Amino acid sequence: MSKYFSKVSLLLLFLLLIISACTTQKKPITKSTVKNTPSIPKNPKETPVKEEAIKLNLPEVNREFRAAWIATVANINWPSKNNLTSQQQKDEAIRILDLLKDANFNAVIFQARPSADAMYKSNLEPWSYFLTGEIGKAPTPYYDPLEFWITEAHKRGMELHVWLNPYRAQHTTGGPITSESIVKKMPEQIIKLKNGMFWMDPSDEKTQDHVSAVIKDLVKRYDIDAIHIDDYFYPYKEYNGGKDFPDSRTWNIYQKSGGNLSKADWRRGNVNKFIKRIHDEIKSEKSYVQFGISPFGIWKPGFPEGIKGSSQYDELYADAKLWLNQGWLDYFSPQLYWKNDGPQSFTSLLKWWESENTQKRHLYPGLNTVGLRDVSDRPAEIVRQINSTRNILKNAAGTIHYSVDGLSKNLTMYNAVKNSYKTKALVPQTPWIKTTSLDKPVLSIDNGSNSANAKWNARDNQNVFQWILYIKYGDTWETEILEKNIVYRSLPLNKNGKKLNTIALKSVDRLGNESDYDAKRL
């Protein structure tokens, strides 16, 4: 009996457990239940390795624009003669670029169009006399000098700005005028000045259209960083024997059409229209290509108070203050070719131009490195001007040296400037030019017995211009700005008694914008 009841009890208990399991509702699976659950790959080798992001407080790198003008007109800087071989021209270019790179310059302003001619292959204007000694003659053996300068500058982490004179048609040293010359091809738009130069009439629409076409062609076909025009708008009066510019043909057409501006305002109006047009056309073609202008350093005498000298507004019909106020440019480089004290004070003029920089564009004054007058120690004065620019403009500082001969042919000047540019610098950022952010680069480290081998790359490598490498020994960071083609560093694990513990990397685009960093701890 007890055995019977014992068996029945066990059976009933088993049945109750089955019923309970069947009637209990299962908890539904929701997204919140599995959102943090890693998926299991079919192949274990495909398991992604998720590295924990390293939070770092990286030091800021130095920023300053440092450039030199390379004048090709009259063979001032390059090529040194107009009868050099292609290889000799290349060798001279390399020496100039290496000289500037060694002094930590980060840009060159290369005169690719000295006077309605071309230091590059153009279907609009002839090969330059200053290149081969003959208008319209290409280098032999053939190469494209502008393309060469761009490639070699970029290889060294330096920007290449194309400098051109918009209205000069023929220089007095430019050789005989041939059928290839713009003087023959656009005779109605060309005016001969009393000093022997030929000038395009800035108020003629055909002049404006032609120069516009030249600039658009340069921007479209070449990997340049900027278009740069200098102070030659209407010519200086001494070019025409002190007499007024002879543009009666276009002036009479304007008057007959019902125009009621004064002649001076009409001239300025045409130049203003041209500046705005060029700016807009460059941005329409390639928004990242900058537009820079280097006008005569004085807007008008008395601005600021006490300044004396020529007036760009009244003599060159260039209202450069308006262009700066309106932001029709990306950088502005007034030619402040005078010492700090005097009737054309460098510091006073720079402060005044800064006060007019209402759109906060880049302000990079031009320094007269080659021919500053009335100073006993020219290198010391140029260094003072570099320091004054830094004090006034702070983190947006920059200077352009006229010209490279002031550095290459004067060792004392070169060493003084090099000492002022002790470390490399990125160019100041240009926030008003909108660009796509760079991807974070990919950094990898292989440890050896005495060194760490760092390698890197970027998915968007075509948009990378430079790298910033950050290295930390103990508690001390070191930074290095590297050219794009450098993608490897072997770093000692110990230095000065401190251990290498962290390496980080950023990529930098052509406008100086930095990516997010990738980092590794050792």
Residue 109's nearest CA partner among 401, 346, 423, 407 is 401
Query: What are the DSSP E strand ranges found in 133-285?
Result: 159-164, 168-170, 190-192, 198-200, 226-229
For the chain, the structural domain boundaries read: 65-420, 442-521
Strand 331-332 versus strand 362-363 pairing type: parallel
Q: Is 50 exceeded by the pLDDT of residue 29? A: no
Q: What is the pLDDT of residues 52-96, one digit of tens each?
A: 679 999 999 999 999 999 999 999 999 999 999 999 999 999 999
Q: d(Cα 317, Cα 274) in Å, to the nearest integer?
A: 12
Indicate the pLDDT class of residue 341, thresholds 50, 70 and 90.
confident
Q: How far apart are CA 517 and CA 470, in angstroms?
A: 10
Residue 362: band (very low, low, confident or very high) from pLDDT cuts 50, 70, 90: very high
CATH class of 65-420: alpha beta
Does the structure show a pLDDT above 70 at 8? no
* pLDDT of res. 51: 58
Report, as an integer, the average pLDDT of 421-440. Answer: 97
Q: Would residue 37 be called left, alpha or beta, if left means φ above 0 and alpha means ψ between -120 and 50 degrees?
A: beta
DSSP track, 453-500: EEEEE-TTGGG--EEEEEEEETTEEEEEEEETT--EEEEESEETTEEE
How high is the pLDDT of residue 20? 47
State yes or no: pLDDT of 14 exceeds 60.
no
Number of residues in the chain? 522
Cα separations in angstroms, 450 against 23, 280, 491: 68, 55, 9
Residues 469/515, Cβ–Cβ less than 8 Å? no
**112: enclosing H helix or E strand:** strand 107-113
Of residues 34 and 112, which shows the higher confidence score? Answer: 112
Q: How far is CA 157 from CA 93, 507, 516, in A?
A: 15, 13, 20
Alpha-carbon distances of 72 from 199, 342, 405, rounded to whole Å: 18, 31, 12
424, pLDDT greater than 70 = yes
The whole-number average pLDDT for the span 337-344 is: 92
Check residue 36 and give its pLDDT. Answer: 31
Query: Is there a common fold for 65-420 and 442-521?
Result: no
Q: 469-496 burial string, b = 16+ CB within 10 Å, else e?
A: bbbbbeeeeebebbebeebebebeeeee
Per-residue pLDDT at 160: 98
Q: How far is it, in rounded angstroms, from Cα 336 to Cα 351? A: 11
What pLDDT is recorded for position 12?
A: 47
Residue 342's pLDDT band (boundaries 50, 70, 90)?
confident
Q: Is residue 115 a contact partner of residue 168, using CB atoms and an 8 Å limit?
A: yes
Q: In the predicted model, what is the mean pLDDT of the chain?
A: 92
Lowest mean pLDDT among 38-47, 283-292, 344-353: 38-47
Cβ(414)–Cβ(99) under 8 Å? yes
| Bridge pairing between strands 451-457 and 488-492 | antiparallel
Rounded to an integer, the average pLDDT of 161-189 is 97
Q: 3-class DSSP state for residue 443?
A: strand
Question: What does 304-317 look like in DSSP terms, one character per residue?
Answer: STT--S--HHHHS-
- Determine which of 7-21, 127-141, 344-358 has the lowest per-residue pLDDT on average: 7-21
pLDDT computed for residue 448 by the predictor:
86
Distance CA 299, CA 322 (A): 10
Residue 40 pLDDT more than 60? no
Banded model confidence at residue 212, pLDDT cuts 50, 70, 90:
very high
Report the relative pairing of strands 466-473 and 476-483 from DSSP bridges: antiparallel
User: Does CATH number 3.40.630.30 belong to domain 442-521?
Assistant: no
Q: What is the pLDDT of residue 191?
A: 97
Whether pLDDT at 28 is above 70: no
The count of other CB atoms within 10 Å of the CB of residue 153 is 26
- Residue 287 pLDDT: 97
Residue-level pLDDT at 52: 65
Helix (H) or strand (E) run with residue 503 in it: strand 498-508
pLDDT of 33 higher than 60: no
Q: Is 502 helix (H, G, I), strand (E, B) or coil?
A: strand
**pLDDT of 35 above 50:** no
Confidence of residue 375 (pLDDT cuts 50, 70, 90): very high
Task: Render pLDDT for 298-338 as a digit per residue (tens, 0 to 9).
Answer: 999 999 999 999 999 999 999 999 999 999 999 999 999 99
Residue 21: band (very low, low, confident or very high) from pLDDT cuts 50, 70, 90? very low
**442 three-class SS:** strand
Residue identified by tokens 């699976």 is: 29
270: three-class secondary structure by DSSP: helix
d(CA 190, CA 176): 16
Pairwise CA distance, residues 318 & 353, whole Å: 15
Considering only CA atoms, which of 310, 359, 314, 356 is closest in space to residue 335? 310
pLDDT band per the 50, 70, 90 thresholds, residue 456: very high
Q: Who's near 101: CB < 8 A, 6+ residues apart? A: 156, 157, 158
Q: For 121-146, what is each residue's pLDDT tens digit?
A: 999 999 999 999 999 999 999 999 99
Over residues 400-411, the pLDDT tens digits come to: 999 999 999 999
Q: Are 290 and 331 in contact, with CB atoms under 8 Å apart? A: yes
* Ranges 49-58, 185-194, 314-323, 381-390: which has the least confidence: 49-58
Kindly state the percentage of the chain with pLDDT values over 70.
90
| CB-CB neighbours of 257 under 10 Å | 7
